[in-house]
Amino acid sequence: MFSVDRGQADTRRSVISLEMDNKHEESLTIRIGGHAVLVAEGTLTIDGK
């Protein structure tokens, strides 16, 4: 698990947690968490294999 700490600690602190399950399969499971306000939603598809 990774954590990204951004912003000003006293006014706009933002901590994002990121966890990935790499099981050497075709798909990769990624979980992103933290306190947030939803501004967009979608699906990312990466071609190349």
Range of the structural domain that residue 13 is part of = 1-49
Q: How confident is the model at residue 49 (pLDDT cuts 50, 70, 90)?
A: low
Cβ–Cβ under 8 Å, residues 18 and 2: yes
How are beta strands 14-21 and 29-33 bridged, if at all? Answer: antiparallel
Between CA 28 and CA 4 the distance in angstroms is 20
pLDDT at 42 over 90: yes
Q: Which residues pair with 41 in a beta bridge?
A: none
Between CA 18 and CA 2 the distance in angstroms is 5
Between CA 33 and CA 1 the distance in angstroms is 11
**More confidently predicted of 27 and 7:** 27
Tell me, what's the pLDDT at 19? 92
> What is the total count of domains within the chain?
1
